[in-house]
Amino acid sequence: APSPYIRPVGAPLTVIAHRGASAVAPENTLVAQDIARSNGADWIENDVQPSKDGVPFVLHDSTVDRTTNGTGAIRNLTSTQLKQLDAGSWFGPAFVGVRIPTLAEQLADLRTRGGRLLLEIKGAHTKAEVGRIIDIVRAEQMTGRVFIQSFETNALKYSYELAPEIPLGLLRSTLDADPVAVARQYHLTAYNPAVAALTARPAVIASLHTAGVALMVWTVDSASQWQQLKTLGVDGVITNRSPELVDWNAAN
Ligand code: G3P
Ligand code: CA
């Protein structure tokens, strides 16, 4: 059967909200998730890393410095400390008091209010740390609505060993010589390259599709590039401007 993630010719691009609607709300928060969802995004993308006490939190950087009022590496801060931080005021006064969500909180919000998650395991993780993420996905009864992606091939390997039912995507900044071989090696459902790498060698799209592998391309915020990727046959687009891409899909 063809991959459900491969977009049929002529169908709209799959809209993946990069860290939520991160152009208009603080990234990787439930506010950003809610705006993306209510404006019609198909998927929310996030970044997941553990606290000092091993609780998976939703944060992009390895430190809290840029996106909260705190300082320090997330892996050196306890979940209690992380929960005290303000993750909204850096973005604007309308978001004062917004907290860093845990993965469990984010999944519970998606389960009860709708939406799917492209869950990025950010940075090197041990197998036990990947296991904790999977335990939470299962506890929240969200295995059918979660797709795991990572730049870290070990994280994908661990995920496949622990939960082969969860689809996997490999993030790449540059293309592999043979992306199809890499897709087979890591049991990939999607191969997710940076847009510049892909448009330099678009023939890989057909090769991957023939092998049943979808492409979700990052991070693409301009209509001219959305048009280029749609014409090339890409499946999903990871964008900071998901409300605009939803509108663009409807008009194109
Ligand atoms: O989803 C792809 C993209 O998020 C990867 O880069 O640094 O934004 O996590 P980054
Ligand atoms: Ca990411």
Per residue in 3-46, pLDDT (tens digit) is 899 999 889 999 999 999 999 999 999 999 999 999 999 999 99
Residue 1 predicted with pLDDT over 70: no
Residue 43 to residue 33: CA distance in whole angstroms:
9
pLDDT digits (tens, 9 = 90+) for 205-240: 999 999 999 999 999 999 999 999 999 999 999 999
Q: What is the pLDDT of residues 97-140, one digit of tens each?
A: 999 999 999 999 999 999 999 999 999 999 999 999 999 999 99
Tell me how far apart the alpha carbons of residues 122 and 19 are, in angstroms, rounded to a whole number.
Answer: 12
pLDDT in tens, 140-166: 999 999 999 999 999 999 999 999 999
List domains and CATH numbers for the chain: 19-211 (3.20.20.190)
> Which positions ≥6 away from 22 have C-beta within 8 Å?
28, 32, 240
Q: Which two tokens stand for residue 178?
A: 């043979």
Pairing of strands 43-50, 190-193: unpaired
Closest CA to 7 of 246, 244, 232: 232
Any atom of ligand 1 within 6 Å of the Cβ of 19: no
Q: Specify the residue with its C-alpha closest to ligand 1, atom 7.
A: 60
Decide: 48 in ligand 1 pocket, CB within 6 A. Answer: no
